[in-house]
């Protein structure tokens, strides 16, 4: 039986971050126990044919190691090719406007099932030392996914770094029409473009040895 193609939905993702891999070089094993190395967080993606919103799932629970990972909110508009991001960097909420982040994908023959949907594996290589794998489903039509990922012929239900340091997998897909208010951008007086924020951060922290890696992580991949 063929599944009907889905044009709008809500997807709940689980993100697992291996803090040993993310914080490597920081002598992390001295102060973080082996059983605590995997940090689990949940996110929601709402989408229709023209827009999507990816955001952290709201929770009343107190979070441990909150500083160790980033929780971005990303609006993507496929009609005008723009994205609007809310990033929290060092405790400061920053609002950014930018164009959609174009990536050159290589689609493979490899398949797997995620959240009940057949998915095809694709590869993106942002630099010589990094590979990102994505599993997308043709059954979910809009070209969107976690964070600012898009550009495949279907919605991304799984996303992972090659070393398994960061892994997103859809846990649940709910077919629904998100209300129009879901995609209304927040009102914020101070907005940066990505080049403006990079320039400001370089002025502040450019001489720090950790800065290049942080900049690549914040703006070169996710």
Each of the 222 residues of the chain gets a pLDDT tens digit; together they read 456 799 999 999 999 999 988 887 667 888 888 888 999 999 999 999 999 999 999 887 777 777 778 899 999 999 999 999 999 877 789 999 999 999 999 999 999 999 999 999 999 999 888 899 999 999 999 999 999 999 999 999 999 999 999 999 999 999 999 999 999 999 988 999 999 999 988 998 888 887 887 787 778 787
Question: In this predicted structure, what is the pLDDT of residue 46?
Answer: 98
* Residue recorded with tokens 């059954």: 139
Structural domains of the chain ordered from first start:
9-221 (2.50.20)
Question: In this predicted structure, what is the pLDDT of residue 6?
Answer: 97
> How far is 67 from 57, CA to CA, in rounded Å?
17
Neighbours of 174 (CB within 10 A): 10
CB under 8 Å to 202, separation ≥6 — which residues? 211, 215
Question: Counting beta carbons within 10 angstroms of the beta carbon of residue 40, is it exposed (0 to 12), middle (13 to 18) or buried (19 or more)?
Answer: exposed
DSSP state of 217: I
Q: What is the CA radius of gyration of the chain?
A: 18
Question: In this predicted structure, what is the pLDDT of residue 1?
Answer: 42
Instruction: Provide the b/e sequence for 59-71 (b: ≥16 CB within 10 Å).
Output: eeeeeeeeeeeee
Question: In this predicted structure, what is the pLDDT of residue 222?
Answer: 78
Q: Which residues are registered as beta bridge partners of 89?
A: 92
| Residue spans of beta strands (DSSP E) within 138-204 | 155-161, 166-175, 192-193
> Rounded to 10 degrees, what is the CA torsion of 173, 134, 54, 58?
70
End-to-end CA distance of the chain: 36
Question: In this predicted structure, what is the pLDDT of residue 214?
Answer: 77
């Amino acid at each position: 039986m063929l599944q009907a193609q889905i044009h709008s939905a809500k997807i709940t993702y689980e993100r697992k971050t291996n803090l040993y891999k993310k914080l490597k070089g920081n002598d992390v094993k001295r102060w973080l126990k082996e059983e605590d190395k995997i940090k689990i967080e949940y996110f929601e993606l709402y989408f229709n044919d023209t827009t999507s919103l990816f955001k952290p799932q709201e929770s009343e629970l107190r979070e441990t190691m909150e500083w160790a990972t980033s929780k971005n909110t990303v609006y993507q508009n496929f009609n005008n090719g723009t994205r609007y991001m809310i990033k929290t960097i060092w405790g400061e909420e920053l609002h950014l406007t930018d164009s959609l982040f174009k990536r050159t994908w290589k689609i493979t023959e490899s398949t797997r099932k995620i959240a009940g949907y057949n998915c095809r594996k694709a590869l993106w290589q942002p630099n010589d030392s990094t590979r990102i794998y994505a599993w997308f489903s043709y059954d979910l039509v809009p070209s969107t996914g976690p964070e600012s990922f898009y550009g495949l012929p279907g919605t991304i239900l799984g996303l992972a770094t090659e070393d398994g340091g960061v892994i997103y997998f859809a846990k649940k897909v709910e077919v629904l029409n998100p209300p129009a208010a879901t995609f209304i951008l927040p009102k914020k007086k101070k907005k940066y473009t990505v080049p403006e924020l990079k320039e400001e951060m370089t002025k502040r922290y450019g001489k720090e040895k950790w800065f290049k890696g942080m900049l690549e992580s914040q703006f070169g991949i996710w």
